[in-house]
């Protein structure tokens, strides 16, 4: 007599209380076969529920076994059994406002993470930049002047062939003042750099990236012809008294970023923003000095609310990672980097 040991409807009818161990063994055997034949890691686990009194109801008739009483705890994932290696950002980085302050910190982070070349675009005449054997090109250009930014992009491409990552960090704090006392001229100066400068830079960066092929990406990831990160601020998601021009300009950066991300995604280009918390930059120092003791008191309040002072490299590293294909699904996002500043209203 030949006996079948397969799990089917007849077997389940005769033996309504089949131990769950057989079910586990069947999945272990299948998983081992899958792993050996495909050399992938199988991350799947099932649990049998003893609360089900009649398991027969939870299996389909016929030869196909459908364990509806099993609860999937982890999904099946196909992951190559290998670690990442090599540089994080091996392409060409193009940074506006890169000669000093936060923009320079972003440039340094790109160099440390393997960028083959870094382009600094700034109105500063002298740029201090130590990249350690990384090729660096400094271009004197004003982000508020479209012809200069067009030439800056063209110069970078002429030297390095492409622009893989763009980081738009040129900006000003502007003169603080109440809305009721604000000079329209001061307002427009702040908007010109922080808002118009971002849209002009993004425009020419996008045009170049749309012409490019993708950089090398991991198997299974979508191509990336380019990535842009715009510098916003915590003032893009909140406001404080006396900062109308600056706050308006940073809200505009987020709006520009969102629109550009939708326009760029069909070309395999991602556009995101980052909103740093409070850093003691040269611009902040100049602004505090203009306001004397009141400015110093405000700074101490902001720092207490943030919990600690931020490091420039923390912002730079975030900008680099956001630029890489590892963040391939992140598009049109405003990444707030503030140690909880914007959610802490107690100032403690």
Per-residue pLDDT tens over the stretch 103-129: 999 999 999 999 999 999 998 755 444
pLDDT at 311: 85
The reported pLDDT for the residue numbered 51 is 41
Q: What is the model's pLDDT at position 54?
A: 45
342 touches 238 (CB < 8 A): yes
Pick the closest to residue 278 from 251, 254, 312, 245 (CA basis).
Answer: 312
Catalytic residues: 246, 250
Distance (Å, whole) CA 75 – CA 70: 13
Strands of 226-231's sheet, edge to edge?
135-140, 117-122, 92-96, 165-168, 226-231, 269-276, 334-337
User: φ and ψ at 198, to 5 degrees?
Assistant: -70, -45
Which stretches in the chain have pLDDT values below 50?
1-9, 11-12, 37-78, 127-132
Q: Output the pLDDT for position 168.
A: 98
Q: Find, among 258, 231, 259, the residue nearest to 332 by Cα.
A: 258
Task: Name the 3-class secondary structure at 104.
Answer: helix
Class of domain 92-343: alpha beta
Instruction: Please check whether residue 77 is in contact with residue 41, taking contact to mean a CB–CB distance below 8 angstroms.
Output: yes
Q: Which of 215, 238, 239 is nearest to 225 (CA)?
A: 215
User: How many Å is the maximal CA-CA distance in the chain?
Assistant: 100
Domain with CATH 3.40.50.720 in the chain: 92-343
Q: How far apart are CA 167 and CA 275, in angstroms?
A: 13
- pLDDT value of position 68: 44
How high is the pLDDT of residue 123? 85
Q: Which residues pair with 137 in a beta bridge?
A: 119
């Amino acid at each position: 007599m030949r006996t079948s040991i397969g799990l089917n409807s007849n077997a389940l009818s005769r033996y309504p209380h089949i131990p769950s161990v057989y079910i586990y063994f069947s999945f272990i055997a299948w998983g081992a076969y899958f792993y050996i034949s495909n050399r992938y890691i199988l991350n799947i686990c099932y649990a049998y529920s003893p609360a089900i009194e009649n398991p027969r109801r939870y299996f389909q008739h016929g030869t196909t076994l459908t364990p509806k009483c099993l609860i999937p705890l982890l999904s099946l994932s196909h992951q190559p059994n290998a670690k990442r290696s090599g540089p994080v950002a091996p392409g060409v980085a193009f940074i506006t406002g890169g000669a000093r302050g936060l923009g320079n910190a972003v440039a340094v982070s790109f160099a440390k993470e393997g960028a083959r070349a870094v382009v600094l675009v700034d109105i500063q005449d002298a740029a201090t930049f130590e990249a350690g054997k990384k090729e660096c090109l400094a271009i004197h250009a004003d982000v508020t002047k479209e012809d200069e930014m067009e030439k800056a992009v063209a110069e970078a491409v002429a030297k390095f062939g492409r622009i893989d990552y763009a980081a738009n960090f040129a900006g000003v704090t502007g003169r603080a003042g109440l809305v009721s006392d604000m000079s329209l001229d001061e307002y427009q100066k702040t908007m010109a750099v922080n808002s118009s400068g971002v849209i002009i830079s993004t425009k020419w960066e996008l045009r170049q990236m749309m012409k490019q092929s993708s950089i090398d990406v991991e198997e299974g990831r979508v191509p990336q012809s380019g990535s842009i990160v715009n510098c916003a601020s915590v003032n893009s998601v909140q406001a404080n008294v006396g900062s109308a021009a600056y706050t308006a300009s940073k809200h505009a950066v987020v709006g520009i970023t969102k629109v550009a991300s939708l326009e760029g995604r069909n070309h395999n280009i991602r556009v995101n923003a980052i909103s740093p918390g409070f850093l003691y930059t040269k611009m902040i120092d100049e602004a505090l000095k203009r306001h004397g003791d009141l400015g110093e008191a405000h700074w101490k309040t902001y720092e207490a609310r943030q919990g600690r002072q931020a490091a420039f490299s923390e912002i730079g590293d975030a900008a680099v990672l956001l630029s890489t294909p590892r963040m391939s699904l992140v598009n049109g996002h405003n990444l707030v980097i503030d140690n909880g500043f914007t959610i802490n209203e107690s100032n403690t």
